[in-house]
Amino acid sequence: MPTTYSISDLARELDVTPRAIRFYEEQGMLAPERRGQERIYQPKDLVILKLILRGKRIGFSLAECKELIDLYDPSSGNHKQLNTFLAKIAERRLQLQQQLLDIEQMQLELDTAEERCLAALAETTA
């Protein structure tokens, strides 16, 4: 019999709150079995939750994570899922590169503003 998890087991295993797990359920990303009020999670739920958390860490939206999870198809070797994932990685890299450029530009503007303020202060104290 495969290992199953309660909501608290899953939360403890992945260091998330039970509330977070319920949120992903509400979003349709997890669908545990029910025994009365108790939620019973399967190993696949653990994998899905790991994928969600990894996706969030690299900046994917929940919709993007859900799209990638929904594309899982072991019968096709997951080619569609993996190609979509590669495209999203490339897109995320471009976004991060643009953010780096924006940050560098903002730092230059801050340096200029700081120099002007220091020069103005120097003039008023001279």
pLDDT value of residue 1: 45
Beta bridge partners of 34: 39
Q: Please, which pLDDT band fits residue 2 given cuts at 50, 70 and 90?
A: low
CA R_g for the chain: 23
Q: Please, which pLDDT band fits residue 121 given cuts at 50, 70 and 90?
A: very high
Higher pLDDT, 111 or 125: 111
Beta bridge partners of 5: 41
What pTM does this model have? 0.77
pLDDT of residue 58 exceeding 80: yes
Distance in angstroms (rounded) separating the CA atoms of residues 67 and 55: 11
Looking up tokens 């977070």, which residue turns up?
Answer: 20
Distance in angstroms (rounded) separating the CA atoms of residues 97 and 72: 29
